[in-house]
């Protein structure tokens, strides 16, 4: 019997995959979506099943509201509910603001921020009906400082927006037993950045080392637990002191 049902956006690789496998080991059913990582998605689904969890891998662009509705419906039709929404989708690109294109700008906002709005809007009714739910979103460790970011401007604005949306959702959904929290990682060895680049960043981290996926997994595990039932609207810095 499943302990719970989780929907993870961007769950085929990296942090999303780590969360999915941890949930599977605790007998959760895990639905996750991906846009392009079909091979990795199949490997993750197999990993979930090998750990005792049920898996559903769906190709879905979460910046498309119709696709989001279809994905959520598929999960609810399969398992009858969604206990936790974990929004890991968060692509970025580096480009000088004045060289950014309209398509690039819109994609950063749509895939990082607007996608959370679409997912939360569709998942919330079922959670409200059951008077229970957990929503976890990902920002970045210095987004609350609102610093100038000439090379990742749209991505950074989206991550700052995640914090505002998190607090808004938390306030609106608290009466229904639903918590909404953000995790703001710093440098995490998730496979998305070259090892030499991460090594060069160590000197910027007060703790003196780069975080691992397991550090993020532990934070998510806590936010999904009953121990975190009274914690909502929070922004959990997970950065070893970087960005604060």
For tokens 């929503």, the residue is: 135
pTM of the model: 0.96
- Any domain includes 244: no
pLDDT at position 198 is 82
35-55 burial string, b = 16+ CB within 10 Å, else e? bebeebbeebbebbeebebbb
- Any domain includes 103: yes
| Whether 135 contacts 85, CB under 8 Å | yes
Q: Which residues contact 10 (CB under 8 A, 6 or more apart)?
A: 16, 32, 33, 34, 62, 87, 88, 89, 90
- Spell out, as residue ranges, where the chain has pLDDT lower than 50: none
The CATH number that applies at residue 142 is 3.40.50.720
- Any domain includes 12: yes
* DSSP code per residue over 175-225: GGTEEEEEEEE-SEESSSS-HHHHHHHGGG-TTSS-EEHHHHHHHHHHHHS
The whole-angstrom separation of Cα 43 and Cα 31 is 14
- For 11-64, what is each residue's pLDDT tens digit? 999 999 999 999 999 999 999 999 988 999 999 999 999 999 999 999 999 999
Domain tally, the chain: 1
- Any domain includes 133: yes
The full length of the chain comes to 244
- Other CB atoms within 10 A of residue 212 CB: 13
Q: Edge-to-edge strand order for the sheet containing 133-138?
A: 55-59, 29-34, 5-9, 84-87, 133-138, 178-185, 235-238
The whole-angstrom separation of Cα 182 and Cα 173 is 15
Q: Which residues contact 160 (CB under 8 A, 6 or more apart)?
A: 139, 143, 144, 146
The whole-angstrom separation of Cα 66 and Cα 71 is 9
For residue 80, the enclosing domain spans: 5-238
8: buried, middle or exposed (CB in 10 Å: 19+, 13-18, 0-12)? buried
pLDDT at position 1 is 61
Residue positions annotated with a catalytic role: 156
Query: Can you read off the two tokens belonging to residue 193?
Result: 């950045």
134-171 burial string, b = 16+ CB within 10 Å, else e? bbbbbbbbbbbeeeebeebbbbbbbbbbbbebbbebbe
């Amino acid at each position: 019997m499943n302990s719970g049902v989780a929907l993870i956006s961007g769950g085929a690789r990296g942090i999303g995959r780590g969360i999915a496998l941890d949930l599977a080991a605790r007998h959760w059913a895990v639905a996750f979506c991906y846009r392009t990582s079909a091979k990795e998605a199949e490997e993750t689904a197999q990993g979930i099943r090998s750990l005792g969890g049920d898996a559903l891998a769906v190709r879905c662009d979460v910046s498309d509201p119709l696709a989001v509705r279809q994905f959520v419906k598929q999960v609810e039709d399969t398992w009858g509910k969604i206990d936790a929404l974990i929004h890991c989708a968060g692509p970025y690109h580096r480009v000088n603001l004045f060289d950014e294109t309209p398509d690039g700008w819109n994609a950063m906002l749509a895939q990082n921020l607007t996608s959370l709005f679409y997912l939360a809007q569709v998942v919330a009714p079922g959670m409200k009906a059951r008077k229970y739910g957990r929503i976890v979103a990902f920002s970045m460790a210095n987004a609350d400082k609102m610093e100038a970011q000439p090379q990742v401007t749209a991505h950074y604005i989206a991550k700052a927006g995640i914090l505002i949306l998190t607090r808004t959702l938390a306030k609106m959904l608290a009466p229904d037993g639903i918590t909404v929290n953000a995790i703001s990682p710093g440098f995490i060895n998730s496979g998305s950045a070259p090892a030499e680049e991460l090594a060069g960043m160590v000197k910027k981290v007060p703790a003196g080392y780069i975080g691992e996926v397991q550090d993020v997994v532990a934070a998510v595990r806590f936010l999904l637990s009953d121990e975190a039932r009274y914690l909502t609207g929070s922004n959990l810095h997970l950065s070893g002191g970087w960005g604060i």
